[in-house]
Amino acid sequence: IGISTPFVYGGGIRHEHDAISAIQKGADRISLNNILFERPDAVRKIAHCLGSQAIIGSLPLHRIDGVLKHYNYVTKKSDDISREIVRLLEDNLISELLISDWLNEGSLDGFDIDLLKAKELLGPKLIAFGGLGDPLVGKKVIGLSNVSAVAVGNPFSYKEHAIQTYSNQLKTDCLRSPYFRDERTYDWNQ
């Protein structure tokens, strides 16, 4: 088919054996969230076994009084970004960070761009998620030098050709040209 997007698995990874199992079952990369905060030593072991290129950190973030906070979906509490997380980034043990603006998930244009400029997140490339349904907001985000991708969810679920339309509206050289096949006129016998 020619798909070049890596398959990323996330959820339930507690130690290096879970991470290795996910890769052995076909994942190209793994996404880590709670383990970053609960067991950064385990993240180091995973990076040693798989290499940092296989690890995407997932951080639901927001700011309280200008201070960057991580939101824990399990405890429903916000915590400061720990020194251990910053060390993982400084040591290049995480290749990319999925930054979720969890307060704006589901909105069309609420993404807090300042989250991507936080000094605590220097190092890996960033993937922005949450509140990016408006292509104009997506264009601002994808234009930042430390951003490698935007992730958009709900706005693509309810309209035909939504992904292609969004890509066309971005009008940036950072993206490949959108392609879709009109099923009404496509010759399926080719």
Q: What sign has the CA pseudo-torsion 49, 28, 155, 168?
A: positive
* pLDDT, greater one: 151 or 157: 151
Give the C-alpha separation, 180 to 54, whole Å: 30
Higher per-residue confidence, 112 vs 178: 112
R_g (Cα) of the chain, nearest Å: 18
Q: Which of 124, 143, 127 is nearest to 135 (CA)?
A: 143
Question: 62-104, pLDDT tens digit by residue?
Answer: 988 888 999 988 889 999 988 999 999 999 999 999 999 998 8
Lowest mean pLDDT among 60-64, 120-124, 175-179: 175-179
Position 1 confidence tier, pLDDT thresholds 50, 70, 90: very low
Handedness of CA 99, 175, 137, 116 (dihedral sign): positive
- pTM over 0.85? The answer is no
The 10s digit of each residue's pLDDT in 31-52 is 999 999 899 999 999 999 999 9
* One-letter amino acid of 106: G
Q: How crowded is residue 67: how many other Cβ atoms within 10 Å of its Cβ?
A: 11
Please tell me the predicted confidence (pLDDT) of residue 185: 61
